[in-house]
Amino acid sequence: MGNPRSSTAHCIAAVRAGRVSGYNLGHQLWRLAMTWIPKP
Protein backbone atom coordinates (compact mmCIF):
# COMPACT_ATOMS: atom_id res chain seq x y z
CA MET A 1 0.00 0.00 0.00
CA GLY A 2 2.86 2.34 0.77
CA ASN A 3 3.55 4.76 3.54
CA PRO A 4 0.27 5.81 5.22
CA ARG A 5 1.84 9.12 6.22
CA SER A 6 2.63 10.01 2.60
CA SER A 7 -0.84 8.92 1.43
CA THR A 8 -2.43 11.12 4.11
CA ALA A 9 -0.29 14.05 2.98
CA HIS A 10 -1.38 13.37 -0.60
CA CYS A 11 -5.06 13.45 0.45
CA ILE A 12 -4.52 16.72 2.32
CA ALA A 13 -2.76 18.20 -0.71
CA ALA A 14 -5.63 17.12 -2.97
CA VAL A 15 -8.20 18.66 -0.61
CA ARG A 16 -6.20 21.91 -0.47
CA ALA A 17 -5.89 21.97 -4.27
CA GLY A 18 -9.64 21.40 -4.57
CA ARG A 19 -10.37 24.20 -2.11
CA VAL A 20 -8.01 26.57 -3.91
CA SER A 21 -9.47 25.80 -7.33
CA GLY A 22 -13.00 26.13 -5.95
CA TYR A 23 -12.12 29.46 -4.33
CA ASN A 24 -10.55 30.73 -7.56
CA LEU A 25 -13.65 29.71 -9.54
CA GLY A 26 -15.94 31.44 -7.05
CA HIS A 27 -13.74 34.54 -7.10
CA GLN A 28 -13.84 34.68 -10.91
CA LEU A 29 -17.64 34.33 -10.90
CA TRP A 30 -17.86 37.05 -8.23
CA ARG A 31 -15.72 39.43 -10.30
CA LEU A 32 -17.80 38.64 -13.38
CA ALA A 33 -21.01 39.36 -11.47
CA MET A 34 -19.60 42.62 -10.11
CA THR A 35 -18.74 43.75 -13.64
CA TRP A 36 -22.25 42.85 -14.89
CA ILE A 37 -24.17 44.46 -12.00
CA PRO A 38 -24.40 48.24 -12.61
CA LYS A 39 -22.93 50.18 -9.71
CA PRO A 40 -25.15 52.89 -8.20
Amino acid at 21: S
Region at 4 (left for phi over 0; alpha for psi -120 to 50; beta for the rest)? alpha
- Alpha-helical (H) ranges within 1-40 are 4-36
Q: What is the pLDDT of residues 1-35, one digit of tens each?
A: 567 688 888 888 888 888 888 888 889 998 998 88
Integer-rounded Cα Rg, in Å, for the chain is 17
Distance CA 19, CA 37 (A): 26
Residue 34 is predicted with a pLDDT of 86
Distance CA 15, CA 22 (A): 10
pTM of the model: 0.46
Between 38 and 34, residue with greater pLDDT: 34
